Chains A and B, each alone.
Chain A
Amino acid sequence: MSVLRPLDKQPGLNTATILLVGTEDALLQQLADSMLKEDCASELKVHLARSLPLPSNMNRPRIDLIMFVVNLHSKYSLRNVEESLRHVDATFFLGKVGFLATGAGRESHCSVHRSTVVRLARTYRSPLLFCDPEVDGFRVPVAQRLVRMLQICAGHVPGVSALNLLSLLRSSENPTLEDL
């Protein structure tokens, strides 16, 4: 079983690659399209996967950021993400992993409680974003945030590293939750 490691490949010139992992194909596709529409100085590559581990026979560039997409309407997507997390090397979690929870807007359809994903993100010390990709107004800002995060994780933003960003995001949270 191959494990994803952050620095096992050479980086491409001016290229930033994001891997979106989630069971909802349509959702990932929408998000990918929004991200590619953004104006960005670096060349963006978006990879989509249903789950990890990725097939080892493919020749793929170095992955700079992994976003795990959980659909709050489906317990299956949560289980899938939990399984996939095992195939990621621990060094990835130094700012190069994030969680995206979708479907929080439709409370009546939720089978996963919001606090479950919050706890998951806290356990893995990674940022959590909420998004409803069906709504244009929500999708575009989240895509912009992801592109910015990706640029930082790929090292294309001078003076800010992935670890800097992670500590910046975490210090804005309530300090009493740091113990979790």
Chain B
Amino acid sequence: MDSYDTRGSTPRHSASSRLKDYFIGATPLQKRLESVRKQTSFIPTPPRRKIPQCSRLQEDNDPQKVAFLLHKQWTLYSLTPLYKFSYTNLKEYSRLLSAFIAAEKQKGLAVEVGEDFNIKVTFSTLLGMKGTQRDSEAFLVQILSKSQLPSENREHKVLWTGWFCCIFGDSLLETVSEDFTCVPLFLANGAETNTAIVGTWFQKTFDCYFSPLAINAFNLSWMAAMWTACKMDQYMAATEFLWSVPCSPQSLDISYAIHPEDAKALWDSVHKTPGEVTQEEVDLFMDCLYSHFHRHFKIHLSATRLVRVSTSVASAHTDGKIKCLWNCPDGMEFKKDLEEKRRW
């Protein structure tokens, strides 16, 4: 007999009742299998993406807290669901993690001369960094150094920051049981050694796994198009692209900078449907840039690999590094949406 039979749904019925069973009281495993089957039988990429409603972000968030997320380079990792993670135990986790970090540093694994071993770790939740109600709350981990000097000005210096979030993770949430918290996106800023230590602690404590998230050229071109589509009052920086040409002995890099208003004008001429971005529009936008470049330099940029995209809103590198320059709600939300959709 089927050992996953928790609510009386057996997979031995005929096809029609089996389909019904999947919708009523299916076990998490069956749900997962069904979602995987759904994904492989249809053409996976959505040819159009909705620009999401960003009201959630604007309501709940604390502008100060979110402001510190800007102008920093974040390295992206994808994370499997955390087992038995609780938002009420954050103080406990800070204590445990501080102890772990102190122990690791004394082991001599991360040796730096003159380093301050008085480290404080804080866990805090970030309200408003989620796409839908069902998404798990985002939370932030910071490693601060405690000041040695007994002065009044006890400003803690932030050594390392990392935050976990889940945005539009609906497809993940339906396949995961209640013991698990889904925060599939992890962003880290600070020394690599600290990222590794925090990662090890999380992996040991919550039985999860981190893997670096790379952004491929296909997704970078989507990001370029969507960030150019953002309406901005004033532009801080030019829109820049970087391509890597694979050739021996060392690869060649081609950098292409456009005035941001020209890029916006180009996007507006390509964009037809309001509130939605389609694959054709993104392709057309990029093809215009490629053909313009080809006309002048006779180089086919489409044969090279897009490595970096930088706009006034944000910039992204294929190695999984992003930087948000402007708190455009559209910008941050669909950036994560892209990453999550791509991963799964």
How far in angstroms is the closest Cβ of chain A from B285? 13
How far in angstroms is the closest Cβ of chain B from A172? 14
Q: What residue of chain A has the Cβ atom nearest to residue B220's Cβ?
A: A111
State whether A109 and B303 are in contact (beta carbons under 8 Å apart), knowing that A115-B45, A174-B41, A176-B41 are contacts in the complex: no
Residue contact A76 to B214, C-beta cutoff 8 Å: no
Residue contact B302 to A76, C-beta cutoff 8 Å: yes
Residue contact A75 to B45, C-beta cutoff 8 Å: no
A108 interfacial by beta-carbon distance below 8 Å: yes
A24 to B303, CA, bound (A): 10
Residue contact B302 to A113, C-beta cutoff 8 Å: no
How far in angstroms is the closest Cβ of chain A from B186? 18
Residue of A23, A107, A118 near B303 (CB, 8 A) is A23
- The size bracket of the interface on B is 10 to 19
- The size bracket of the interface on A is 20 to 34
Residue contact B318 to A115, C-beta cutoff 8 Å: no
Residue of A79, A111, A112, A115 near B43 (CB, 8 A) is A115
B44 interfacial by beta-carbon distance below 8 Å: yes
A112 to B41, CA, bound (A): 19
A107 to B344, CA, bound (A): 13
Within 8 A of A (CB), among B285-335: 286, 290, 300, 302-306, 318
State whether A110 and B43 are in contact (beta carbons under 8 Å apart), knowing that A75-B302, A76-B300, A76-B303 are contacts in the complex: no
A162 to B237, CA, bound (A): 57
B218 interfacial by beta-carbon distance below 8 Å: yes
Q: By CB atoms of chain B within 10 A, which of A108, A174, A176 has the most?
A: A108
State whether A113 and B218 are in contact (beta carbons under 8 Å apart), knowing that A73-B305, A176-B41 are contacts in the complex: yes
Within 8 A of B (CB), among A144-180: 174, 176-177
Within 8 A of B (CB), among A61-102: 73-77, 79
B216 interfacial by beta-carbon distance below 8 Å: yes
Residue contact A109 to B305, C-beta cutoff 8 Å: yes
Interfacial chain A residues near B44, Cβ < 8 Å: 113-115
Could you name 22 residue pairs across A and B whose Cβ atoms are closer than 8 Å? A73-B217, A74-B305, A75-B290, A75-B302, A75-B303, A76-B303, A107-B214, A107-B216, A108-B318, A109-B217, A110-B217, A110-B218, A111-B221, A111-B302, A111-B305, A111-B306, A113-B44, A113-B45, A115-B45, A116-B45, A174-B41, A177-B41
